[in-house]
Amino acid sequence: MISRISGKLSRALGHKLNATIEEKEVYAYSIEVILSLILNLIILYEVAYMIGKIPELIIFIIFFSGLRTYAGGYHAKTHIECMTLSFIIFIISSMSSTWFIAYGEIIMLVGLIASNILVFKYAPSESENKPLSNSQKKLHMLISRGIVVAYSVIILILYFNKVQTDYIYLTAVVAMLIESLSLNHLINS
């Protein structure tokens, strides 16, 4: 469905701009990515609203997507798989501040240590859709390492304010850990 819509939009845009076939293909792919992202965000927002986890959605987007932008990770083969995985990961991350309070410190320590090790070892993880030059790899490596360290500090601050922040540090650490695990070449291949 998303591919058909993006194809139609890219043909119309390409016709209006007198674009080449290659340019139309770029338009189609770009539109497809944008439509998929918008649909995914709408679904996640609706779910977050229904379960009363809007703050957790914001934290999830920051800690999962923020790291993913530079670290890379597993890429689903289809839009349905992507949306399904995003939904599952969001539910696990957002509900962790409810489900795992009794194990919060252990989850936080394991999550922080594992995330830092995985990001320092595997990031950036390339995908066939997003190949990186050597200079881009080095830049993404440095940025993703900086992000995971900064996020770790933020998680510790959230932990020391856990009562005031309604244990949202668990959502942050679980989202960051799941993204970090997706860097592993066993999962990512």
Q: Which of 29-38, 93-102, 128-137, 140-149 has the lowest mean pLDDT?
A: 128-137
Query: In this structure, are 81 and 137 located in the same domain?
Result: yes
Query: In this structure, are 153 and 177 located in the same domain?
Result: yes
Query: In this structure, are 91 and 109 located in the same domain?
Result: yes
pLDDT at 174: 93
pLDDT at 57: 92
Query: In this structure, are 132 and 40 located in the same domain?
Result: no
User: Count of domains in the chain?
Assistant: 2
Q: Express each pLDDT in 53-87 by its tens digit.
A: 999 999 999 998 888 887 887 777 777 888 888 88
Query: In this structure, are 41 and 93 located in the same domain?
Result: no
pLDDT-derived band at 109, boundaries 50, 70, 90: very high
Query: In this structure, are 8 and 90 located in the same domain?
Result: no
Query: In this structure, are 23 and 77 located in the same domain?
Result: no
- The pTM of this model reads 0.80
Residue finishing a domain among 51, 72, 87: 51
Query: In this structure, are 35 and 77 located in the same domain?
Result: no
pLDDT at 16: 77
Query: In this structure, are 47 and 121 located in the same domain?
Result: no
Q: Express each pLDDT in 129-142 by its tens digit.
A: 677 778 888 988 89
pLDDT-derived band at 107, boundaries 50, 70, 90: very high
As a whole number, mean pLDDT of residues 14-23 equals 76
Range(s) of the domain holding residue 38: 1-51
In one letter, which amino acid is 164? Q
Residue with tokens 């497809």: 32
Query: In this structure, are 130 and 58 located in the same domain?
Result: yes
Residue finishing a domain among 51, 70, 92: 51
pLDDT-derived band at 148, boundaries 50, 70, 90: very high
Query: In this structure, are 152 and 183 located in the same domain?
Result: yes
**Mean pLDDT over each residue of the chain, to the nearest integer:** 85
Query: In this structure, are 131 and 179 located in the same domain?
Result: yes
In one letter, which amino acid is 100? F
